[in-house]
Amino acid sequence: MTALCHFERNEVESRNLMHELGIVFYIIKDVKEAAEANGVKHVDAVVMDIGEVSTIVPEYLQDMWRWAADREELLKGAELKINIIPAVTWCDHCKCEYPTVEYGKTCPNCGSGETWLLRGNEVEIKQIEIKS
């Protein structure tokens, strides 16, 4: 048996093979739910908090957003506003915080590898905005 199971979710061109598209579908689903719950007919902007090390490329997310949002009555022309959240790592050895992108996994103060990301991997819908 070689069955085929095909997800007809989109007909995007092959240049768009990136996870930002999947993320956009999730954003749209959540925004639709929030809009419905609040009786909103049209959303003018969606505000996202995106962590610096979340693996999301904001430019790609914007591209995908335009493509997908304009196909929804609720989101036609809606702007996607992106707040970038700087990534910060905590060193458990010398109890300090340092910028993740610059120093990575190794603490610049004491050289320890006992470090954890405190923030900077968010992919969060902060709010939606409606012009009255």
Partner 1 sequence: MDEVKVIEIKKSVFEDNDKDAAKLRAELKHRGVYLLNLMSSPGSGKTTTLIQLLNQIKTKLRVAVMEADIDSDVDAVKIKEQTGVDSIQLHTGGMCHLDAEMTRQGLDNVKLQNLDLVILENVGNLVCPAEFDTGACRNAMILSVPEGHDKPLKYPLMFSVCDLVVINKIDVMPYFDFDIEKCREYVKMRNPKAEIIPICAKTGEGVDKLAEWILKEVNNWKTT
Q: Which residues bind partner 1 (CB under 8 A)?
A: 1-12, 14, 16-19, 21-23, 26-27, 29-31, 34, 38, 40, 44, 55, 105, 113, 122-132
Nearest distance in Å: CB 109, partner 1: 18
Nearest distance in Å: CB 97, partner 1: 18
Three-state DSSP string of 74-119: HHCCCEEEEEEECCEEEECCCCEEEEHHHHCCCCCCCCCCCEEEEE
Nearest distance in Å: CB 94, partner 1: 18
Which residue lies nearer to partner 1 by CB, 38 or 109? 38
Which residue lies nearer to partner 1 by CB, 12 or 94? 12
C-alpha–C-alpha distance, residues 60 and 47, integer Å:
16
Residue 88 near residue 98 (C-beta atoms within 8 A): yes
Residue 126 near residue 48 (C-beta atoms within 8 A): yes
Residue 118 near residue 90 (C-beta atoms within 8 A): yes
Nearest distance in Å: CB 22, partner 1: 5
Which residue lies nearer to partner 1 by CB, 84 or 123? 123
